[in-house]
Amino acid sequence: MVLPSTAFAVWILAIVSLLCLGSWANTLKLAGKWRFEYFYYDFLFGIVICAGVAALVLGSGRPQELTLQDNLLLVGYRKMAFALASGVVVNLGMLLLLAAVSVAGMSIAFLLTLGVALVIGVAWDFVNIQQANIPLTFIALALLLGAVAVAALTYVRLLRVRREAAQKALTPDPRIKSKRAKSAGAALAITLSVVGGIALSMFPKILGGATGEGGLAPYPALVLISVAAFLSSPFFVLFFTTFPVSGTSAMPSGYLAGSAKQHLLGLAGGIIWGAGILTSLIVAAAPSTAQPSALIQYVLSNAAPLVAVAWGVLVWRELRGSDHRVQLLAAGMVVLFLAGLGMVAFALFPK
């Protein structure tokens, strides 16, 4: 089983994980007018391909040492069950995140969803880490909650500005008074993000019961996660195609109507996400002497929303048609999230 043994290799893998986990949703944007439910089928195929290739090539390498097969034989069924359960949970969370991205875009959906997940994770870690700094933890939670709230306000304001602009375009006569634009449409994206964040906050906690000392190594862990996600996906996808977040309901057979480009983009998205999860697991399993400090590792492993915001704002221009207030709010949510993340790292890992 191939694992990094030098600090340089671990740093490279940590950065790769950050970029992958913050960038995979670009494949959904590139797919154009392709339902995220159908995209998700290919996305899961991509995760399975990534897990399978990594297991065969890297997990079974160095046969003179512990291999993937040896690891599966040594660990108990209880740890395997935790890995499978984490696959079901992350499957639901990722589908909700994709639904939020399809409605609100990467910049809003990622920060809202993963911001909620981080807040719940911080509260959980605070209870279980004895050396946590109490005042700094509460300040960090306040900053992160502020980032989530400002992200929601940013989307509400953005929808309002766009609706007002559309109303002006449709009613050019100044004597006709238009009604005040409502922002009720933002409730759907916010709800999807919050529920998705709750699900994703459970993923690392459940997976923690399968990994660690005496547990699953990164390669078999990803294999079990991908298998559980793949087997449970028809139930979740069927729900979203029957009760769509936008547009009309559809049949699962509509997946076959996609172009080769759209299917390949879905596969690429799954491979990128799988690579991000795998490298994060490998970093956690590396020797302690080769790992970055706990503070830096925590920041790198939770900064993916900032990468997604950069893609959404700078490349996909998701704030186009906004005003200066929306831009200030967007900048504020980034600053609050970054400050909260740094504060959490100092609070939970003071040394």
Say if residue 258's pLDDT is above 60: yes
Task: Tell me the mean pLDDT in the region 42-51.
Answer: 97
pLDDT greater at residue 63 or residue 297: 297
pLDDT tens digit sequence for 68-118 = 888 888 998 999 999 999 999 999 999 999 999 999 999 999 999 999 999
**What does the pLDDT read at residue 246?**
82
Given a contact cutoff of 8 angstroms between Cβ atoms, the answer to whether 297 and 288 are in contact is no
Weakest-pLDDT range from 109-118, 151-160, 177-186:
177-186
CA separation for the pair 238, 136 (Å, rounded): 43
Distance, CA of 273 to CA of 61 (rounded, Å)? 22
Q: What are phi and psi of 179, to 5 degrees?
A: -70, 155
Query: Binning pLDDT at 50, 70 and 90, where does residue 32 land?
Result: very high
- Rounded to the nearest integer, the mean pLDDT of the chain is 91
The pLDDT assigned to 185 comes to 73
User: How high is the pLDDT of residue 133?
Assistant: 86
Average the pLDDT over 138-145 and give the result. 96
Q: Where are the alpha helices (DSSP H) in 209-259?
A: 218-242
Please, are residues 217 and 285 in contact by the beta-carbon 8 Å criterion? yes
C-beta of residue 200 within 8 angstroms of C-beta of residue 111: no
Q: Could you tell me the pLDDT band of residue 302, with boundaries at 50, 70 and 90?
A: very high
Which SS3 state, helix, strand or coil, does residue 188 take? Answer: helix
| Percent of the residues in the chain that have a pLDDT greater than 70, as a whole number | 95
DSSP tag of 288: T
Report pLDDT for 295. Answer: 86
Neighbours of 292 (CB within 10 A): 16
User: Integer distance in angstroms from the first to the last C-alpha of the chain?
Assistant: 32
Q: How far is CA 345 from CA 280, 285, 295, 312, in A?
A: 17, 20, 5, 26
What's the pLDDT at 188? 93
Confidence of residue 172 (pLDDT cuts 50, 70, 90): low
User: Where does residue 130 rank: exposed (0-12), middle (13-18), buried (19+ CB within 10 A)?
Assistant: exposed
Nearest C-alpha neighbor of 241 from the set 232, 229, 253: 253
- What is the share, in percent, of the chain residues with pLDDT greater than 90? 72
Q: Per-residue confidence at 175, pLDDT binned at 50, 70, 90?
A: low
Q: How far apart are CA 24 and CA 270, in angstroms?
A: 7
Q: E-assigned strands of the chain?
A: none
The 3-state DSSP class for residue 327 equals helix
Span of 125-134, 145-154, 185-194 with lowest mean pLDDT: 125-134
Q: Is the pLDDT of residue 174 over 70?
A: no
Which residue did the predictor score with more confidence, 343 or 185?
343
In one-letter notation, the amino acid at residue 229 is A
Mean pLDDT (whole number) for 52-66: 83
The reported pLDDT for the residue numbered 173 is: 54
Q: What is the mean pLDDT of residues 117-133?
A: 87
- 96 close to 196: Cβ distance less than 8 angstroms: yes
Query: Would you state the pLDDT for residue 181?
Result: 40
Q: Could you report the per-residue pLDDT of 312-326, keeping only the tens digit for each?
A: 999 999 999 899 999
User: What's the rounded mean pLDDT across residues 202-219?
Assistant: 93
Question: Can you read off the two tokens belonging to residue 350?
Answer: 């003071």
Most confident of 20-29, 154-163, 166-175, 231-240: 20-29
For the record, the structure tokens of 221 come out as 């862990």
Cβ(253)–Cβ(234) under 8 Å? no
Q: Is 316 exposed, middle or buried (0-12, 13-18, 19+ CB in 10 A)?
A: middle
